[in-house]
Amino acid sequence: MQILNNFSLRPFNTFGIEAIARHFATFSTVEELKELLSEASHSTKNNLVLGGGSNILFTKNVDGFVLKNELSGINLVDEDENHFYVKAAAGENWHKFVLFCIQHNYAGLENLSLIPGNVGTSPMQNIGAYGVEIKDVFVSLEALHKKELEIKIFTKDECRFGYRESVFKSEFKDQFVILNVTFRLNKVPVFNTSYGAIQQELDKMGIKDLSIQAISQAVINIRSSKLPDPKQIGNAGSFFKNPTVDIQFFQSLQNQFPDMPYYTTDVSHVKIPAAWLIQQCGWKGYRKGDAGVHVNQPLVLVNYGNASGDEIFNLSENILKSVQEKFNITLEREVNIV
């Protein structure tokens, strides 16, 4: 176990933002993590546990410990007549885990292909795409309390999943380190092709016999065409959540903006695509210096090279203000700000 001082975090966040950690270390076992947390407890500064770095924006240096999660391992832990139960360590790359499941015909994650980040982040954010969310396949997770150094098991109900939300972003924020996650995956696939352009992409691919492999490839194709590769252009994927509004307010907006797209969430609420709102405010393709809004996807803020975290954050502030002024809707950031 090696602790490095004044360590650059630029290679460890997908925005490619330069930030310095006063202390930095990696852990690949629970015992190493406990040792590091014990060491960090002597500091008056908060410690930060870093996963894939795909959902974080550094706006300053970290005057404390940054601990990089490198826990690894994927295991089939149980199965019944209809399901496989698969446990994955939190440090596993999410997309590689999805591909592993597809290779073994564990169905249910194919719509979540090519989402950046690690397995441990998936329940924190309740990640979702193309009609599927983590809560749909989640069984439980194990997490270590950062101060008590005790492992606790969280069930699906205890995680209190919401839209890009969980108890780990609210009540228990910064209190636990997720160690592993167990998923319940289907032996007989339940195909979900109705969301977005999946069916059109499958038709374009000439798919006659539907499979989880084909759906995964269709999702990869769509995401690759719309979203920039963080290895080429720094970004953290979708920067804002899609806002949910009550139906009466939406109807008043629709009178002013009849082309406004929406998705019904329940009898009294609808969800409006944040990308549409941002584009209507003229931000699509905007660039100032190296901070910008992606030319194909207004939800994605990008670092074209040497933008600072403050420059990206200030851009997001201006977007929030313009959407508020034009639509009276308050967007929420999906990305964690440090």
Distance CA(299)–CA(31), nearest Å, equals 39
CB 182 within 8 A of CB 87: yes
> Which tokens is 222 given?
């769509």
Of the listed 110, 122, 142, 164, which one is catalytic? 164
Give how far Cα 300 sits from Cα of 65, 234, 335, Å: 29, 10, 11
Q: Tell me, yes or no, if 334 is annotated catalytic.
A: yes
> What residues are paired with 66 via a beta bridge?
24, 48
| 164 is a catalytic site residue | yes
Token pair belonging to 298: 């207004």
Residue 312: DSSP 8-state: H
Measured CA to CA, the distance from residue 170 to residue 94 in angstroms comes to: 23
Q: Which of 54, 113, 238, 316 is catalytic?
A: 238
Please give the helix or strand (H or E) that residue 288 lies within, else none. strand 287-288
The secondary element (H helix, E strand) that includes residue 36 is helix 30-40
**What six digits make up the tokens of 266?**
């329940």
Residues assigned a catalytic role: 164, 238, 334
